[in-house]
Amino acid sequence: MSDATKPLRVLVYSDDVNTRQQVILALGRRPHPDLPEVEYVEVATEPVVIQNMDAGQIALVILDGEAVPAGGMGIAKQLKDEIYQCPPVVVLTGRPQDAWLATWSRAEAAVPHPIDPIQLADTVVALLRPRVPAATSSTG
């Protein structure tokens, strides 16, 4: 399977299964025609996030900033501090006013709860597009 057709692995972290499902349903299997299909890695605990990140092959990370006991913002900061060439990180914030915290966490983007599927998809596509080989981009 070539890199152009290989699914993009997106890690979705939240202690709340409903939040993980909202993210996955909002993005679907293919958030944009220019991108390959997305394969989701659902994670409910911080140690499993770290384990998956250490294993590699993750194209994008979506972390729930409201997760307990380990919030997504702290995990984002840890990933950015510890992983060389860390993939892009999206943090789900409790409210739009919390976006400044994502700056502290070094996440590339923040999307507030409740999840707006269009905003989330636009954010994810903008972060994934540069990571996809040029052969998959459309003309025009």
- Give 82-86's long-range contacts (Cβ < 8 A, gap of 24+): 83/53, 83/54, 86/53, 86/61
Encode pLDDT of 57-68 as tens digits: 999 999 999 999
What's the pLDDT score for residue 29? 96
Nearest to 105 by CA among 139, 62, 138, 136: 62
Number of domains in the chain: 1
Encode pLDDT of 101-128 as tens digits: 888 999 999 999 999 999 999 999 999 9
Q: Which residues contact 84 (CB under 8 A, 6 or more apart)?
A: none
Decide if 1 is inside a domain.
Answer: no
Q: For the purposes of burial, counting CB atoms within 10 Å of the CB of 128, is it exposed (0-12), middle (13-18) or buried (19 or more)?
A: buried
Q: Which domain holds residue 116?
A: 8-136
Decide if 122 is inside a domain.
Answer: yes
Interstrand relation of 109-112 and 8-13 (parallel, antiparallel or unpaired):
unpaired
User: Do residues 92 and 16 lie in contact, with contact meaning Cβ atoms separated by under 8 Å?
Assistant: no
Structure tokens at 113: 């709860």
Decide if 63 is inside a domain.
Answer: yes
pLDDT > 90: what percent of the chain? 81
pLDDT > 70? residue 133: yes
Encode pLDDT of 31-73 as tens digits: 999 999 999 999 999 999 999 999 999 999 999 999 999 999 9
Edge to edge, the sheet with strand 109-112 lists: 38-43, 8-13, 60-64, 89-93, 109-112
What's the pLDDT score for residue 101? 83
CATH number at residue 119: 3.40.50.2300
User: Do residues 99 and 93 lie in contact, with contact meaning Cβ atoms separated by under 8 Å?
Assistant: yes
Decide if 84 is inside a domain.
Answer: yes
pLDDT > 70? residue 2: no
Work out the mean pLDDT of the chain and round it to a whole number. Answer: 91
Decide if 41 is inside a domain.
Answer: yes
What's the pLDDT score for residue 131? 81
What's the pLDDT score for residue 20? 98
